[in-house]
Structure 1
Amino acid sequence: MSTSLEALAADAYPRMVATLIRVTGDWTLAEDCAQEALAAAVQRWPQEGEPGNPGAWLMTVARNRAIDTLRRASVERRKLAEAAALALTGTDEVVGEIAGEGEVVDDRLRLVFTCCHPALALESRVALTLRTICGVPAADIARAFLVTEPTMTRRLTRAKRKIADAGIPYRVPAGPALAERLPGVLAVLYLLFTQGYNADGRPAFAEEAIRLARLLRRLMPGQGEVSALLALFLLQHSRRAARQDTEGNLLPLDRQDRSRWDTVAIAEGLEALAEAERDSPYALQARIAACHAVAPSVPGTDWAEIARCYDALAGIQSAPVVELNRAVAHGYAYGPGAGLALLGRAREGGALDGHPLALAAEADLTARQGDRDRAAALFRQAATAAHTESERRALLDRAAETARQEWGS
């Protein structure tokens, strides 16, 4: 598939699926017809040339495939009625939907909320979002969730069947229900982004989360948490190219080449952050990311502002990882002793016992206090508990470097 067709497919696939689901009510039929339309483009466009309106061409092919399928099932009167309704939508509305003309975009928003319905398990919501809205192959989703492709296919099938059997409405909730459901949608996007941004994650997943967040922001103007989430994604993802060296080893902030940070993404992220509520959970995380993004160096970072943001975030959602990051921020803002004191309190519940990031944070703060021998041992202990190979290598490198500094002193 050519680069231009890949880009069009990424945008056209969810549009086609969303429109066909609305009209036919048949999730599998919608996906099959959208995929057949893309396959037809791959086969025909190299010989016939790309049509003047490629999006409308794809929608027309997908619609005709659906009509043919429904007509073959003409023993059911309801299916015939659906075929007639679908034929009627072969007008400017469907063309506008796929071509991006006007404001006929509600189907995609309906699809996002349907995939993220709270009746589905969180893992199913993420997988269904990847497959239906992002068009990610089931095999790739299976690898991300560490299961076989047949297992993931069955999970997707069960999720779609549950939507049908439970009569989950294909719509965006209104009024108070929207405020109740939106956090669940954003949580799915956040998990999707994290799945792609992790050290050994799949970057395409993070990029899809950014694309969906942009879509939600465009379709739901005025929703501050949507803008905040997009800002967080962009500001974090702007550093991706600099997070690893040529051998794939993780680089901490103080060793990243900041000239490789994506300044366009940073600018877009800051613009989105300006629309966010100041102290909402995603906005606070985005403000922390913004402090890093605009700083010339780690010493030049506004650590006092980052510490303030973590203080506010801990007041909203006290969680071990928040308390851990809060301790690190205080350690840089007010000295390693302050950070170690907070880290000790965060460990009192036992949730951070043996956690590699907690051990690494203690090691860094301990090294900055001057006890490099103990710090090196803590880095080695953190490496033993690391979840990924890249994290393990990075922690062992820090241990070796810290030990050399101790020997040199």
Structure 2
Amino acid sequence: MSDIETIFRTEYGRAVAVLVRHFGDIDLAEEAVQDAFAAAVRRWPAEGIPPSPAGWIITTARNRAIDHVRRESRRAAREASSLVPGESPREEDDMLRLIFTCCHPALAPASRVALTLRLLGGLTTAEIARAFVVPEATMAQRITRAKGKIRDAGIPYRIPRDEDLPARLGAVLAVLYLVFNEGYAASAGDHLTRSDLTAEAIRLTRTLLTLMPDEPEARGLLALMLLIDSRRRARTTPSGDAILLSDQDRSRWNRHQIAEARSLLRDCQRRNRPGPYQLQAAINAVHADAPTSADTDWPQILLLYDHLFALTPTPTVALHRAVALAEVEGPAPALAVVDGLPGLESHHVREVVRADLLRRLGRVAEAAGAYAKAAAGTGNTAERRFLEARAAALVPGSVSDPDCR
């Protein structure tokens, strides 16, 4: 990645945030910042990157926006007079305002994700569409509708009040985690992972933590992302097929990310305000502490899941807790829990867990059927191929049957 591309990724969202506050117009802010970066691409290779590239971009974009407003003969005097040097709030506050605007509860969850990647991440509409495997026109409409909703509903461009902050921050963290999960376990497409999305989610979460350093759940989410992403290189074969956690080569796990995550979790412990993301990070830290799969402290993981379920008693948490329960008490009680979970009947991950538990109980035909059902329920080609192979391996006489010679 070139220096200008790096600056674009790190400063695009900040520049858009500053201009949105000045002009109150998202489209105008985006167009002006894009024009400024286009000017940078033309000028910086010959003139050199300025000492403060972010300041150069913001100043250039601001001037472009003022010119546009004047050409349109609207708000010229008011907007120009609002841009007196030294009178603007901190740019960090502008970023927070934009983050909370993009993740406002009035917007549909898919729109929050798209708008966050567009305005804060600087991803093009085509890039976002490819990431979520939808037509570019569909993604463009989604982003346009979200901007229109902000404008027409008068969604405020501000940081929530203290009493509203916990709930609103939760929505922001959920959006960032959705972006990360789509990158780490892609719901559709040919590849199991999309490293561009995981990297963007981690970068945006780092930005949020810089803006809100006293929020332990933001710290916990970053730790969780780093721990999960640390296993990325060991998750797939050279051909792109999935490798189970228990079979991964742990020497390929990223120890720098693991060390940073542990440091973040120690900071969380000192603050003593546990939350769901911190607990999920702690669970993944237990996996990271085990030199081999056989050394995993499953009783500790089960205990952490008990705490997590007390905070967020959802079927999804209960499903993952059942995996730990199977390691501590055996597959039979875990299967009873899984079969009794409401609302996950069509969830392919539930069928993956059921299949493994059935296999361990010797109910091979049922396990094969569960693997096949899970394969049919995923839109990801690599995952479907992996699950179909697991199902075939359990069918006597199959070419994938490990006992077939």
Is the CA contact 1:372–1:405 (under 8 Å) kept in the aligned structure 2? no
1:59–1:125 distance in 2 versus 1, CA, 3 Å: same
Aligned mate of 2:228, from 236, 241, 246: 236
1:268 maps to 2:265 = no
1:248 maps to 2:244 = no
Distance 2:64 2:161 in 1: 33
Q: How far off is 1:14 after superposition?
A: 0.8
Alignment partner, residue 82 of structure 1: 79
Counterpart amino acid of 1:242? A
1:386–1:146 distance in 2 versus 1, CA, 3 Å: closer
1:25-64 to structure 2, matched below 5 A, reads: 25-64=24-63
| Counterpart secondary structure, 1:251 | coil
Aligned mate of 2:327, from 329, 332, 343: 332
Q: Any unmatched runs of 5+ in structure 1? A: 98-102
Q: How far off is 1:377 after superposition?
A: 4.7
1:124 maps to 2:98 = no
Q: TM-score, normalised by structure 1?
A: 0.88
Once the two structures are superposed, what CA deviation does each residue of 1:304-330 show, in whole Å capped at 9, x if it has no partner?
A: 111112222223323332222111111
Once the two structures are superposed, what CA deviation does each residue of 1:50-96 show, in whole Å capped at 9, x if it has no partner?
A: 223322222222122122212223x33x332202323x23x6x78xx
Q: How far off is 1:116 after superposition?
A: 1.0
Q: Any unmatched runs of 5+ in structure 2? A: 187-191
Question: Structure 1 residues 159-168 or 236-245, which shifts more?
Answer: 159-168
Aligned mate of 1:162, from 136, 142, 149: 149
Distance 2:125 2:264 in 1: 32
| Counterpart secondary structure, 2:295 | coil
Q: How far off is 1:369 after superposition?
A: 3.5
Distance 2:252 2:225 in 1: 17
Let me know the Cα RMSD of the aligned residues: 2.4
Once the two structures are superposed, what CA deviation does each residue of 1:342-396 show, in whole Å capped at 9, x if it has no partner?
A: 22333xx3x3335432232223223333455654454344333333211122123
Distance 1:148 1:395 in 2: 27
Distance 1:381 1:115 in 2: 36
Distance 2:103 2:344 in 1: 30
1:330–1:30 distance in 2 versus 1, CA, 3 Å: same
Once the two structures are superposed, what CA deviation does each residue of 1:116-148 show, in whole Å capped at 9, x if it has no partner?
A: 111212211111111001111111222344433
1:234-383 to structure 2, matched below 5 A, reads: 234-276=226-268, 277=272, 279-346=274-341, 349=342, 351-353=343-345, 355-372=347-364, 374-383=366-375
Distance 2:345 2:104 in 1: 34
Alignment partner, residue 173 of structure 2: 186
Distance 1:266 1:57 in 2: 36
1:387–1:306 distance in 2 versus 1, CA, 3 Å: farther
1:154–1:256 distance in 2 versus 1, CA, 3 Å: same
Distance 1:105 1:241 in 2: 34
1:318–1:19 distance in 2 versus 1, CA, 3 Å: same
Distance 2:245 2:281 in 1: 17
Distance 1:50 1:406 in 2: 59
Q: TM-score, normalised by structure 2?
A: 0.89
Q: How far off is 1:400 after superposition?
A: 4.4
1:140–1:366 distance in 2 versus 1, CA, 3 Å: same
1:328–1:71 distance in 2 versus 1, CA, 3 Å: same
Question: Structure 1 residues 388-397 or 229-238, which shifts more?
Answer: 388-397
Question: Structure 1 residues 58-67 or 277-286, which shifts more?
Answer: 277-286
Distance 1:247 1:359 in 2: 25
Distance 1:266 1:39 in 2: 38
Alignment partner, residue 100 of structure 1: none
Alignment partner, residue 121 of structure 2: 134
| Counterpart secondary structure, 1:244 | coil
Distance 2:215 2:48 in 1: 41
Aligned mate of 2:212, from 214, 220, 231: 220
Q: How far off is 1:247 after superposition?
A: 0.6
Once the two structures are superposed, what CA deviation does each residue of 1:229-283 show, in whole Å capped at 9, x if it has no partner?
A: 1111111111112211111101101222212211111112122222335642112
1:108–1:367 distance in 2 versus 1, CA, 3 Å: same
Alignment partner, residue 394 of structure 1: 386
Structure of greater relative contact order (alpha carbons < 8 Å, 6+ residues apart): 2
Alignment partner, residue 8 of structure 1: 7
Q: How far off is 1:9 after superposition?
A: 0.7
Q: How far off is 1:19 after superposition?
A: 0.6
Is the CA contact 1:279–1:312 (under 8 Å) kept in the aligned structure 2? no
Distance 1:165 1:377 in 2: 50
| Counterpart secondary structure, 1:68 | helix
Distance 1:169 1:332 in 2: 49
Aligned length: 393
Distance 1:179 1:376 in 2: 44
Q: How far off is 1:106 after superposition?
A: 1.2
Question: Structure 1 residues 196-205 or 226-235, which shifts more?
Answer: 196-205
Counterpart amino acid of 2:9? A
Alignment partner, residue 189 of structure 2: none
Is the CA contact 1:373–1:402 (under 8 Å) kept in the aligned structure 2? yes
Counterpart amino acid of 1:48? E
Distance 2:67 2:346 in 1: 59
